[in-house]
Structure 1
Amino acid sequence: MTDKATPLGEAADAAEAVSNTKTLDVVARAGFAVMALLHIVVGAIAIALALGQPGEAEPTGAIEQLAANAWGPALMWAGMVACIGLALWQLSEATLRARHLPTKERIGKHISSGFLSVAYGSVSLTFGGFAVGLPGDSGESTRDVSAALLATPFGTVILSAIGLTIIGIGIYFILKGVRRGFKEELFHFDGSRRGRIIDALGVTGHVAKGIALILAGLLFVIAAAKHSPEESTGLDGSLKALREHPYGPYLLLAIGAGFICYGIFALVRSRFGRM
């Protein structure tokens, strides 16, 4: 008896059919657009930091900036719904659609799309917190979690593993950018001027995001090595630490510009991406 002939297989097929609805597709694309906007704002904040201005160069700081304008409450609710839709779409990618893939590809999809589902779900919770008047501080939350982990017997190992995982994701983004692996996600514009622009945005954006993630992961590893939770301050802390080095502001400017490029690329992904 094949897997599809079982009640479980039939239920999975029905759930997959639901996940392929136009409504989820539209909401997930809106989620990509929201994430694109956040990357553009984070990039602008990083550039401002390089120029000596205050700010929090991470998603919570970007959401706080968006919440401060006249349309803030509406944007918060819309962002929450869009990111929930994107998280659900990634979850369906990791589970329902991944079951049709060969074993090696299926495992990779479980890991990549599963991680993204959790990440987008976390962003949706941040939007929801601002929507109901409960803003958060990503750096402070990261330090609290790190302190709680280091207080446990295996906390150093776990925190190191978190840092190394983030570094690994950063390396993945760099390789994806250099190898132009992002082209698989798009309906291609090969050979056209528009295609060359999208290609340049994809390479620059993925490499810049990868570098930023590696820096953030290193802070977790350092915090674990020193048994010092205040060292783990997430993306914002890593970029601010970079500012203190002699050539740090120039690299920070480049990373900020790269995040803006990634954001523009993600906007293209939201419109022309394969779903």
Structure 2
Amino acid sequence: MPGPTTRSSSGAADAASDAVADLARRHPEVVAAARVGWVAKGVVYVVLGLLAATLVVGGGGGGGSDQEVSQSGAIQELASTPLGTLGLWLVAIGLALHVLWRLASVALPAESSAKVWATRAAYVVSALTYAALAWSAVTLATGGSSGGSGDQESQVDSVTRSVMEMTAGRWIVGLAGLAVLAVGAVFIHRGWTESFAEELEPGGVGPVDQRSLRRMGVVGWVARGVMMLIVGWFVVQAAIQFSPDEAQGIDGALRDATSTWWGSLLVAVVALGLVVYGAYCALSAPRTRLTSPG
């Protein structure tokens, strides 16, 4: 029989869930506006997946598009589309709304536990990431520069070198690599167990039924996880070999992975999965609901 602590924890979780549902009912316009952010996020991931695909189509070994294969590279690529400045502004506004969605999720009531606080921390990191992307889109839309191809890689290399010069820097880089691997594993687990579906309201969207949406989510989350595993592997290798050059961001990691036939196959799968994830974010936006960190 569950003890008092279990009942208390369950009661707190139910109360938090009711409070979030009540908030969504009282402010449907806020939820509707925030859902636009998921569409913008989906656009970024579709472009990211297409950029990753060019690495394989380009013959592997680091070939493919000169554009940086990363979320920021996807923003830069959008600037060259027919939508141009208008597209950048639309994505910037959408990503800003997504940031607000994540920050709202952080502030929602939930029981106090290590898992809840870890989830809140992940939401904060997500908000900061998409805020930076939104700012990048605004900068490009106003005629500025958000950094050229290879910018992310130079930053990763610079930070890794600086850390390795510190006492125990090698261990810090190694732990960072393990943390990235752990994030990849969490993404894969989230996809494989379909736990992401807890953020969806019942029902499909137009001709796409709920089962199809969930399948798209599975493919997308697993692909994101594999991408993070590839990045984490190179960071760990940098620590093991004591070589900052081995540490790679998304762009460098995927380009290096295409140096072998099996690596190219893996990148091709990741690229397809990222496109599917982007489509999932955009299609599922009308069914995405606010959920507390618990």
Which category describes the TM-score, using the shorter chain as reference length? 0.7 to 0.9
1:137-172 CA-to-partner distances (Å, cap 9, x unmatched) read 222222222223223334333322322222111111
- The farther-off stretch of 235-244 and 101-110 is 101-110
Tell me the secondary structure at the aligned position of residue 74 of structure 2.
helix
Answering whether residue 145 of structure 2 is matched by residue 134 of structure 1, we say yes
Task: Return the letter of the residue paired with 1:244.
Answer: S
Q: Give distance in 1, aligned partners of 2:185 and 2:225.
A: 6
Q: Give distance in 2, aligned partners of 1:231 and 1:65.
A: 26
Q: Give distance in 2, aligned partners of 1:106 and 1:222.
A: 32
Q: Give distance in 2, aligned partners of 1:243 and 1:115.
A: 29
- The farther-off stretch of 117-126 and 170-179 is 117-126
Scaled by the length of structure 2, what TM-score is found? 0.78
Tell me the secondary structure at the aligned position of residue 260 of structure 2.
coil
Q: Give distance in 2, aligned partners of 1:258 and 1:43.
A: 7
What is the match of residue 186 of structure 2?
A: 172
- How do 1:190-201 and structure 2 match up within 5 A? 194-201=209-216
- Tell which has more relative contact order, 1 or 2 (C-alpha 8 A, sep 6+): 2
Q: Give distance in 2, aligned partners of 1:29 and 1:145.
A: 35
Q: 1:131: Cα distance to partner?
A: 2.8
Q: 1:45 aligns with which of 44, 51, 60?
A: 51
Q: Percent identity?
A: 24
Q: Give distance in 2, aligned partners of 1:140 and 1:168.
A: 24
- The farther-off stretch of 28-37 and 256-265 is 28-37
Q: Give distance in 1, aligned partners of 2:172 and 2:87.
A: 36
Task: Name the Cα RMSD after superposition.
Answer: 2.5
The gaps in structure 2 that reach 5 residues or longer are 1-18, 59-63
Task: Return the letter of the residue paired with 1:210.
Answer: G
Structure 1 runs of 4+ aligned residues shifted over 6 Å read: none
Paired positions, count: 256
Q: Give distance in 2, aligned partners of 1:27 and 1:141.
A: 34
**Does the Cα contact within 8 Å between 1:28 and 1:83 map onto a contact in 2?**
no
Q: 1:193: Cα distance to partner?
A: 6.6
1:196-239 CA-to-partner distances (Å, cap 9, x unmatched) read 22122111111111001110112222222333222222111111
The gaps in structure 1 that reach 5 residues or longer are 1-12
Q: 2:196 aligns with which of 167, 182, 188?
A: 182
Q: Give distance in 2, aligned partners of 1:43 and 1:238.
A: 14
